[in-house]
């Protein structure tokens, strides 16, 4: 299949996740909504169900969710609740609500209250100290609870064999997505910023094995392309999410390529794999402990500014000449980290811009002007 056809298929899924959800339900499958961040999708797959990522929406406005949320909650969290309240996600069989930031913690209770009697909401608190033995033990307790609740929904136990198989499925998916990110950065003439996002976003909606098979086919086609003669500026994108096609079209209209990303919904979520040997539940906890360089994770060595150094390194290694940071409005973790990131970028002489966005934004005129001007500087 041609690159264009494959990219269009990913885009179709990315733009119409509700069709995919309906299709799975028509096939008799159970589907579990998975909110950000770091929920072990492996457990859902091992239970024979389909994990479906819920990262807000670019097509909705907040209305019903206002009843439950303070106005200073980010739009990702509010729009996730909006879709649960307005019936968009009525077909879900359950919901996993991680609580890794100060918005998601109270939101987990809003989801629970709003969905009482309608949808099982599975609370998940990751440990702040994720590496010491007590952190791993806490994580195991939490994951065991998630497993128990998923088993209730599935109506069958999750066996170690099924979980080990699910770990392999997810590792293969992460590897294919990492490879795609690399190839898309090398071939911006073949993969636009809009299509790049659609490929990565659709992984949250499609069954992982189907998505991986299609993506491996795309990667093979991209790897066979001759070396790119792309001459435009290349950047690294950073932030929580950057999946609005209108926003990404600004990159394509101005001939700007995304060489790599430090985006939570994209590469931050697929950096670390899970061990395929040993006890699978312990392995899942160790995978979370191995996560790093994320504003949402506690860093014992934060005074060393390791995360910002990591981002600077990413810019250099990817061949990008600058960084564009998409700052979600009301996202405290990202806002608090920004001064440290700026300090490291300035010290490394990496030009960058910071653009405030939220998911209800429809007019990107200001962003367009800023990105155009930044491209000129680069």
Other beta carbons less than 10 A from residue 76's beta carbon: 25
Query: Considering beta carbons, is residue 51 or 233 the nearer one to ligand SF4?
Result: 51
Query: Considering beta carbons, is residue 212 or 237 the nearer one to ligand SF4?
Result: 237
Other beta carbons less than 10 A from residue 303's beta carbon: 8
Min dist CB 300 to ligand SF4, Å, is 20
Other beta carbons less than 10 A from residue 197's beta carbon: 29
Q: Does 74 bind ligand SF4 (CB under 6 A)?
A: yes
Q: Does 240 bind ligand SF4 (CB under 6 A)?
A: yes
The piece of 101-109, 174-182, 269-277, 279-287 that touches ligand SF4 (CB under 6 A) is: 101-109
Q: Does 305 bind ligand SF4 (CB under 6 A)?
A: no
Place of tokens 């919904």: 265
SS3 assignment, position 183? helix
Among 20, 46, 54, 76, binds ligand SF4 (CB under 6 A): 76
Q: Does 101 bind ligand SF4 (CB under 6 A)?
A: yes
Beta strand pairing call for 121-124 and 50-53: unpaired
Q: DSSP assignment, residue 24?
A: H
Q: Does 239 bind ligand SF4 (CB under 6 A)?
A: no
Min dist CB 95 to ligand SF4, Å, is 15
Query: Considering beta carbons, is residue 76 or 158 the nearer one to ligand SF4?
Result: 76
Q: DSSP assignment, residue 65?
A: G
Site string for ligand SF4, 123-162 (x = CB under 6 A): ----------------------------------------
Please count the CA atoms within 13 angstroms of the CA of 330 that sit on its side-chain side: 15
The string of DSSP codes covering 127-173 is: -SS-SSHHHHHHHHHHHHHHHHHHHHHHTS---HHHHHHHHHHHHHH
Footprint of ligand SF4 on this chain (CB under 6 A)? Answer: 36, 74, 76-77, 101, 103-104, 240, 296, 328, 331-334
């Amino acid at each position: 299949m041609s690159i264009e056809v494959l990219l269009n298929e990913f885009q179709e899924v990315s733009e119409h996740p509700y069709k995919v959800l309906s299709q799975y339900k028509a096939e008799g499958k159970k589907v579990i909504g998975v909110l950000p961040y770091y929920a072990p999708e492996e457990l859902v797959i091992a239970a024979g169900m389909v994990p479906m990522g819920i990262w807000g929406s670019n097509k909705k406005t907040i209305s019903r969710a206002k009843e439950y949320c303070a106005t200073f909650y980010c739009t990702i969290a509010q729009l996730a609740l909006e879709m649960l309240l307005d019936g968009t996600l009525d077909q879900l069989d359950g919901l996993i609500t991680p609580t890794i930031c100060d918005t998601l913690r109270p939101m987990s209770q809003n989801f629970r209250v709003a969905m009482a009697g309608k949808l099982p909401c599975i609370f998940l608190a990751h440990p702040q100290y994720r590496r010491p033995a007590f952190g791993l033990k806490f994580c195991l307790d939490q994951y065991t609870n998630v497993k128990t609740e998923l088993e209730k929904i599935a109506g069958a136990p999750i066996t170690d064999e099924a979980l080990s198989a699910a770990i392999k499925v997810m590792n293969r998916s992460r590897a294919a997505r990492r490879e795609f990110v690399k190839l898309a950065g090398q071939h911006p003439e073949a993969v636009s910023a809009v299509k790049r996002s659609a490929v990565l976003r659709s992984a949250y909606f499609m069954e992982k094995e189907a998505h991986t098979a299609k993506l491996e086919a795309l990667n093979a086609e991209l790897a066979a392309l001759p070396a790119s003669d792309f001459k435009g500026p290349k950047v690294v994108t950073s932030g929580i999410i950057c999946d609005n096609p209108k926003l990404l079209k600004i990159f394509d209209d101005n001939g700007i390529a995304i060489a790599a990303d430090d985006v939570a919904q994209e590469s931050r979520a697929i950096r670390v794999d899970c061990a395929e040997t040993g006890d699978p539940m312990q392995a899942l906890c160790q995978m979370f402990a191995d996560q790093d360089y994320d504003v949402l994770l506690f860093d014992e060595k934060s005074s060393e500014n390791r995360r910002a150094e990591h981002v600077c390194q990413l810019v250099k290694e990817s061949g990008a000449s600058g960084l564009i940071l998409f700052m979600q409005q009301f996202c405290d973790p990202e806002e608090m980290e920004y001064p440290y990131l700026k300090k490291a970028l300035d010290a490394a002489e990496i030009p960058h811009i910071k653009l405030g966005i939220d998911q209800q934004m429809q007019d990107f005129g200001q962003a367009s002007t800023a990105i155009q001007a930044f491209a000129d500087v680069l």
